[in-house]
Structure formats: C-alpha cells, structure tokens
Amino acid sequence: MSVLPDNLDRYRKFISFMLKYWQSDLIRNTTSNAMEDDEKNKEEDFKQTPKELLEDLENMGPTYIKLGQLLSTRPDLLPEPYLKELATLQDDVAPIPYEEVRKIVEEEIGTRISKAFDTFDEKPLASASIGQVHYATLRSRQPVAVKIQRPGIKKQFLEDLDTLRELADLAVRHTKTARRYSFDHVLEELSRIVLHELNYQREAQNLKTLGRNLSGFRDLIVPQPIDDYCTGKVLTMEYIQGKKITSLSPLKQLEVDYSPLVDQLVEAYLQQIINDGFVHADPHPGNIQFTPDAKIALIDLGMVAKFTPQMQEYILQLLIAISNTDGAETAKVLLEMSEYNEETDLRAFRKAINDIIMESEHSTAKDMQTGRLVIQLNRLSAESGIHIPVELNILGKILLNLDQIVAVLDPDFDLKKAIQKHVSTIMQSKFYEELKPENFFTMLLQSKKFAENAPERLNKISENLANNNFKIKIEAIDEKRVTDGFQKVANRITLGLIIAAMIIGAAMLMQVPSEFMILGYPGLAMLFFLLAALGGIYLSYIIIFRDENLHNKD
C-alpha cells in the first residue's frame, strides 16, 4: 500500500465507513434476511438512518456516490426506506458552475459556445456524479442535450478505485467471505464499467450501436450523437423531451393500457441480451424516459454490458428454465456456466434452487420478482461455493431495474409469459443471423485449413504406425499405483496358496509314523501347522491394518 498522505486519507475514510456499517444492525439484518419480506427491516429498527447513509456516501466522493446508485437498485441488500433515499443520488448532486462548464466545452470542441450553439442554457437539466446535462440548440435550430464531464473526476475515480482494489485484494487473501464472493473480480468488473462510462466518445459509439440494434422497434427511441460536438469529456446528442417512467400519475396508468408498450420494451431487452450481446446495462427509471407521444427513450449509454455468444446461450437457457418454473434445469444451467470444486454440495444446491424457482411460480411485475430472483440465484451460488460469471450479476441488475419500470406501466404484466412468447422469435432471428454469408466464409476457411493439413497429419500417423512408434498417452489413472496394486494382490494370493498347501501337507503327514513327536503328534506335521498359522496371522494383519491405513490416507 502507498503511504502518501492522500492515500492514507482515502484509506481512513473507507475504513471508518466500513467500521461504522459492517457490524451495524442494518448490514447484519438485511444481509441475513436478504430476500425475505420481514416487517422488522424498517427504518426505525436501525441506528443508522437512510439520510445518514446517503450523507456518508456523498461526503466520501463520486466513486461512493456511484456505489450508492448501484445499491439503490438492490432490494435484496437494503430495506425500502434506504433504497428510496439512495435513489436521490441519481439526480440530486451539486451542479458544476456555468463558468467551468463553458471552459470545458470550449476547450474540448475548440470553439466558443456562442459560435458552436445558437443557445445554451446555463442551468443544467440534470446533474449526476460523473457529469451534468445542459439543454442547447445548434445553429440549425436543432435541440440537443450536451453532457459535460465533471473536472478532475477521472483522476478521483482512478485513485478511489486503486484504494478499493488494494483493500479488496487484502480481504480476499485473509477472509473467507471475500474469497467466496470474489470481491477482487467484482471490483475489477466495476472498474472496467466505470472507466468506460468516463469516456464520452465510447458512449457516443454506444448510442449509435444501440440505435441500429433497436431500429425495428417503432415505440423505442435512442438519441443519436452529434459527432462534430463529441469528445472524451463532452457528449452532444439529440434532445429527447420526456419524463421519468416513475413520474406517471396513477390516474394516467388507469386511463391508458401500456401493456403493448411494456411488451415491446421487454422484447427489446431480450433481443439485446440474447441476440445482440450488447445491452443497455443501467435501465433505472432516470435513464428510461416517457415522451409526450407515448414512446420510450433509452438514454445514458455510459454503462453497457457485452455478452459473448456462449454466455448468450447460457442466459437463453437460464431464462427459459426460469420462465418454465423448471428448478432442475435452472440449477443445471448455473452449474454449466460456473466453476466449483469437489467439496461443493451439489445436491443441496439443486434443492435450494428448485425451492426458489417454485416459490416464484405465480409472480407478476408488481412483485418485481425476475431480477430479484436472478440476484438471489447469484447469492445462493456464492454461498454454496460456486463461482458464477460476473455477467450473471449484471443480468440480475438489468432485470431488476427493468422490473421496476414494468411494474409502473403494467403491474399485472407477466414477465415469464413474455419471455416464453418472445424466445422463439428471438431464437429464429438468432438462427438467421448465424446463416449470414460471412459466417459461411469463416466455416469454409476452417474447412480449407483442415483439408490442407489433413494429408500431412495422416502421413505422420501412418508412418508412426508402420515404424511401431505410435503412442497413446492416457493421464486418466496412476499407472504405477495400479501396477503396485496388482503386485500386492498377486503376492497375497501366492502367500495364501502356500499357507493352504502347508496345511494340507501337515494333515497328510499326520498319517505318517515318525519318531520325532511334538505334544504326541508327528513333529514335522506340527511344524507345518505352526508355520501356516503364523503366515495366516501375518496375512490377516496386513489385510486388516495396512489396507485400512491406506484407505484412510486416500
């Protein structure tokens, strides 16, 4: 660890925070009752109030504000009052003074604001931990939203992440819990996501990619960037007039049937997850806007998730198993995508997974069960010593946020049935995608390489066979141990035959008259009996004690 004063101050702040909350009733009770609707998990039960937790995170800086934003979507970890309080971290951050905004914009785009924009509002539309958004119009009178990154925020994030990484590595080395939940891997993934979010040019490209992928959904909008006014710290994009999904009035929800719109939104996210492998990874209510013409806009593409084709297959199988309430298949898919050792109690794990899946059989959107269920599967896997891919944690967060939005628009929406309905369409689309000419060209190139190398490889095999040099190496068993075992068996059988022969010989000698007598019996016969008895005792000792010790050693 670095001992520079700034680093020591960061360690002090983090350790003080952990000492305050780690042993508190809040953490102890909510983690032990993570998925239970327990009445005791209320604000008045805990010493630390929701407002106090929020203020502590704000005082620790933007990295911990980001942590608070993530916690605000985790009902499996914190009670409802704390979730509501932390949700304000998504909007209520002190804005950057306009003079700093003007300076950053002009330095980044290389010209004065008055020359680049026809109008530029000094008051921000929104202010977040990483940046803030201003309304402006271009010289063409096109309305745009300009997002400006906070000055010095990247340096601060990097320093805080370095501190957390050092402490996470220390925890993994010395605590079982940190190893079980792979704190170091989780932090590594968080660092990657945050660093991508700090690069506005990457976000501009993300907007373009998602816009192309969702172009077939008529009621979904993705604002597109204005390339000439985009840099690493300034992002200019189409302005979307809208409001948070959660701000819809109850009366409006009763008057309008939003189920077709919800169905389209769910299908769009399933396509992103299963077919595209490129997903809007932070769909909290602040990033999903409801427009005046009853459309949904997906904004803030700083945080995206990318799933490999193999992971897409696993997630598809997992979602199908969950939607079919198939606990056995769910456990099977989880085990296939994860890593575990021989000590893992797979039978107990399968039973626990089956119980969880069965309990969720009749849940609807208002229960916010699907994302919560995936998060619960993640936690159960970790507690069982099964290391699941980090992509499944991301999937849980995406679905949990999606559950919140769907529950507002259509509380009775059945997400499981929607998954079942759209899966066949998505799979068909995925199949056609794989039949593209470029995929055939790849297969042809691989076949060409195989055909080119096949004659040489066959020649080598036939030559080795002809010269009796062909060898097959098998590492499935310990050859020396097997041969030693056979030798022991052969030795004991031989010793047993000798003992049997001595007994039979002694019995036959009993009938032969002899002057050498022992205890009134022919002496030679008695000697054979004694030798046979000693040999039998020795053989019995080896079998009973030596073999038992060998067994225990294994």
pLDDT, tens digit (0-9, with 9 covering 90-100), for 172-215 = 887 776 676 566 776 776 677 778 888 999 999 999 999 999 99
pLDDT at 382 over 70: yes
Averaged pLDDT, 421-442: 67
Residue 331, pLDDT score: 93
Element housing 107 (H / E): helix 98-109
Given a cut of 60, whether residue 8 has pLDDT beyond it is yes
pLDDT at 237: 96
10 Å CB burial of residue 127 (0-12, 13-18, 19+) is middle
Q: What is the DSSP letter of 111?
A: S
**Cβ atoms of 129 and 65 closer than 8 Å:** yes
Q: Is 17 or 257 the better-scoring residue by pLDDT? A: 257
Q: Residues 289, 296: contact at Cβ < 8 Å?
A: yes
The first and second tokens of residue 355, run together, are: 């119980």
* pLDDT higher than threshold 60 for residue 54: yes
For residues 157 and 453, which has the higher predicted lDDT (pLDDT)? 157
Looking at per-residue pLDDT, the higher value among 548 and 387 belongs to 387
Mean pLDDT of 38-65: 67
Structure confidence at residue 103 (pLDDT)? 94
| DSSP state string for 208-235 | HHHHHHTTT-TTEE-PPB-GGG--SSEE
265 Cβ neighbours under 8 A, 6+ residues apart: 220, 296, 402, 405, 406
Whether 483 shows a pLDDT value over 60: the answer reads: yes
2-11, 59-68, 133-142: segment of lowest average pLDDT: 2-11
Q: Which residue has the higher pLDDT, 179 or 319?
A: 319
pLDDT given at position 87: 66
> For position 2, what pLDDT does the model report?
47
What pairs with residue 148 in β-bridges?
132, 234
In this structure, are residues 197 and 203 in contact, taking their beta carbons and an 8 Å threshold?
Answer: yes
**Predicted pLDDT at 350:** 92
pLDDT at 436 over 70: no
Using pLDDT thresholds of 50, 70 and 90, give the confidence band for residue 89.
Answer: low
Ranges 203-212, 258-267, 347-356, 424-433: which has the least confidence: 424-433
- Report the pLDDT value the prediction gives residue 70, as an integer from 0 to 100: 63
User: Among candidates 502, 311, 318, 322, which has minimal Cα distance to 417?
Assistant: 322
Q: What is the model's pLDDT at position 231?
A: 94
Do 112 and 69 meet the contact criterion of CB atoms below 8 Å apart?
A: no
Q: Do residues 278 and 304 make contact, with C-beta atoms less than 8 angstroms apart? A: yes
Question: What tens digit of pLDDT does each residue of 515-531 get?
Answer: 777 777 777 778 877 88
Mean pLDDT of the chain: 79
| pLDDT at residue 423, as a whole number | 77
Q: What is the mean pLDDT of residues 468-486?
A: 68
Residue type, 419: I
Distance CA 272, CA 259 (A): 20
In 3-state terms, what secondary structure has residue 127?
strand
Average pLDDT over residues 248-263: 79
Nearest-10 Cα torsion for 527, 532, 538, 539: 170
